[in-house]
Amino acid sequence: MEIEHDFIDKLIRLIQDKKSVVCMGLDPRLEGEGYIPKYLIDQYDDPNKIILEFNKTLIDNTHELIPVIKPQIAFYEKYDALNGLKETIKYAHKHDLLVILDSKRNDIGSTSEAYAYSTFQVYNADACTLNAYFGIDGIRPYLENYKEKGMFILVKTSNPSSRDFQNLFSIRLDEVSDVEYKIKKEYVELERNYIHMAKLVERWTEELPLFSGYSNLGIVVGATFPDELKIIRQITPASYMLIPGYGAQGGSASEIKYGFDKDGLGAIVNSSRNINYAYNQSKTFPPEKFGEAARKEIKTMNLQINKIR
């Protein structure tokens, strides 16, 4: 049955089964103190193997507590470890986890098709992040060829300089009169660029099938801007939110509560560093126990977030 293969449908089922909306980022880092433990790095010559071992241990320790993981492809590219990425995704699937490939690709036509193919057929991810600066031309190849997969479009990112561009006040030319245009202050707050991006996503969602009220076309909204998150939630009621920036970047549980609907659905909350390298922030866990440290951190997140959703 096709319905079972739809990303959002499966995500919601896993969220309900596991009572968790936590997404574990997988951002492997081989250099510097406090990242992948040295004993593991010394064990293999091939970064693919080091990274896969690290990820497997994290998955072994956490898969019952989370519905989804989000590997950040940049780190796998950096270490020439795309095979490690593929094997990680395979391993995650065996452990009843969905996989969002965080790659923020953006292009048009056959190039966009090629990116979609890599995401879903080479790496075998279940969902991905996308940047929609190109407009619908960059998203259509995904919606047309992989409509059962999940896509999360960048709307409001968690970083400070997201204001540089995303917070510009913007309107459509056809809304502008020839001579002058009255701007009320509330209107300005509602018409920044990130709002227009959310409105584009909302428009693209109109034709899509819904599962428990949500389509496969989601959005990315940083945990660090709670007011903006609240407004965006109202504009895009049918889009699941992927919320990064929890923990390491400063977002807390109270700041993301407006991401959830009355059933506690509507958002997943990502943390990468704080989970992957939790052992480094604790006195309880030696490097060898990084998996247990990650498990404990996720339990804490689940407690915090389930309380507010």
Site string for its own copies, 29-68 (x = CB under 8 A): x---------------------------------------
**Contact by Cβ (8 Å): 148, 8:** no
Q: Does 27 bind its own copies (CB under 8 A)?
A: yes
**Contact by Cβ (8 Å): 160, 225:** no
Question: How far apart are CB 297 and its own copies at their closest, in Å?
Answer: 19
Nearest to 259 by CA among 282, 285, 239: 239
Nearest to 220 by CA among 267, 274, 286: 267
Q: Which two tokens stand for residue 113?
A: 């098709």
Among 90, 122, 237, 303, binds its own copies (CB under 8 A): 122
| Range in contact with its own copies (rule: CB under 8 A) among 48-56, 88-96, 115-123, 223-231 | 115-123
Nearer to its own copies, 79 or 260 (CB): 79
| Range in contact with its own copies (rule: CB under 8 A) among 88-96, 109-117, 258-266, 274-282 | 109-117
Touching its own copies, residues 153-212 (CB under 8 A): 154, 157-173, 176-183, 185, 188, 193, 196-197, 200
Nearer to its own copies, 119 or 304 (CB): 119
Torsion over CA of 169, 173, 175 and 181, rounded to 10 degrees?
A: 70
Residue 185: CB atoms within 10 A of its CB come to 6
Q: Which helix (H) or strand (E) holds 102?
A: strand 98-105
Q: Does 124 bind its own copies (CB under 8 A)?
A: no
Residue the block writes with tokens 């992948």: 36
Active site residues per annotation? 104
Q: Which two tokens stand for residue 293?
A: 């440290």
Amino acid identity of residue 271, one-letter, is S
Nearer to its own copies, 61 or 274 (CB): 274
Nearer to its own copies, 140 or 230 (CB): 140
Residue 170: CB atoms within 10 A of its CB come to 14
Q: Does 282 bind its own copies (CB under 8 A)?
A: no
Nearest to 229 by CA among 295, 162, 181, 286: 162
**Considering CB under 8 A, how many residues would be counted as binding its own copies?**
63
Nearer to its own copies, 41 or 108 (CB): 108
- C-alpha distances out from residue 205 to 140, 145, 195, 237, 303, Å: 12, 15, 15, 10, 32
Residues that bind its own copies (CB under 8 A): 27, 29, 72, 74-75, 77-78, 80, 82, 104-112, 114-115, 117-118, 122, 131-138, 154, 157-173, 176-183, 185, 188, 193, 196-197, 200
